[in-house]
Homo-oligomer: A and B are copies of this chain.
C-alpha cells in the first residue's frame, strides 16, 4: 500500500491525506474513475480515525477531485485539470525547496517563510 501518514508532522493528518491522494493521482498511480479505498479500510491501513479520512475525502469532493456514490464508495473524477498542471506543480515545488534552502542560510525562520506565503496569498487574492 502506498498511503502513508506522518503523525509527527505539523500538517494536519487530513491535509496530508489530501495532498497525498492528489500526488498519487498526478503521478498516475491512481487513475480517473478508480475506486478509492473505503473510509474504514483506509483508516485501518494508515492507523487513523475514520473521521479523519472522511474529512479528507469530503474536502477532495469539494475540490472536485473525487465523488461518492452512496452505499458504493468513493471514486476519482475524470477531472484532468490536475494532471495538466502536473509539470508546473513539480517545478513550483522544486523552486520552493530551493528557496527554503537559501532561507536557512540567511537565518530566516520557517515561521517567517510561512508568514510570507500567507501575506503574498492575500495580496494575490485581492
The residues of A with any CB-CB pair to B shorter than 8 Å are 7-12, 15-16, 19, 22, 67, 69-70, 72, 81-82, 85, 88-89, 92-93, 95-97, 99-104, 106-108, 110-125
Contact between B118 and A110 (Cβ–Cβ < 8 Å)? yes
Contact between B120 and A97 (Cβ–Cβ < 8 Å)? yes
Which chain B positions have C-beta within 8 A of A89?
Answer: 106, 108
A113: nearest chain-B partner, CB-CB? B117
15 contacts between A and B (CB under 8 A): A11-B114, A11-B118, A15-B112, A82-B107, A85-B106, A92-B99, A92-B106, A95-B95, A96-B113, A96-B116, A96-B117, A100-B117, A104-B125, A110-B121, A113-B117
